[in-house]
Amino acid sequence: MIDAIAWIYIHEQKLLCVRTQGKDAFYLPGGKREPGESDEQTLMREVSEELNVQLKPETITWFQTYEADAHGHGVGTQVRMPCYRAAFDGTFQPSAEIAEMAWFGSRERDRCAPVNRIVMDDLVSKGMIV
């Protein structure tokens, strides 16, 4: 089981997604925790590293935890991804690790990793993205 933390940020009913260098699918901003980090610490560090914005710690709220097949890993490898929402300071500036940043609705779901697709389907069912 891969343990990853993700940020759900929606603007004008589109979900912020990123693609890292060398990957063929889009993911939610976030990533794997360092030893001893809390979910919130991981989320803040990863979003800062990927997009150069600072999450406001007092606004971080758990949204939902999703599980799916891990993209690009062997059969049977799953990812468990607690997702959070939060406000931020700064202007998005993708880092060297991020090849591409995009705003996706349900039409773009096939460009995403399996866990992202599950998140997107849930957000569509809740009327949060189109």
In a domain, 75, yes or no: yes
Identify the CATH number of the domain in which residue 68 sits.
3.90.79.10
- Which pLDDT value is given to residue 76? 84
Q: Can you give the pTM of this predicted structure? A: 0.94
**Residue 74 pLDDT more than 90?**
no
In a domain, 130, yes or no: no
In a domain, 66, yes or no: yes
In a domain, 91, yes or no: yes
Q: What is the pLDDT of residues 30-53, one digit of tens each?
A: 999 999 999 999 999 999 999 999
Distance CA 42, CA 32 (A): 7
Q: Do 43 and 55 meet the contact criterion of CB atoms below 8 Å apart? A: yes
Domain count, the chain: 1
Domain hosting 7: range is 2-125
Q: What is the pLDDT of residues 76-129, one digit of tens each?
A: 899 999 999 999 999 999 998 999 999 999 999 999 999 999 999 999 999 999
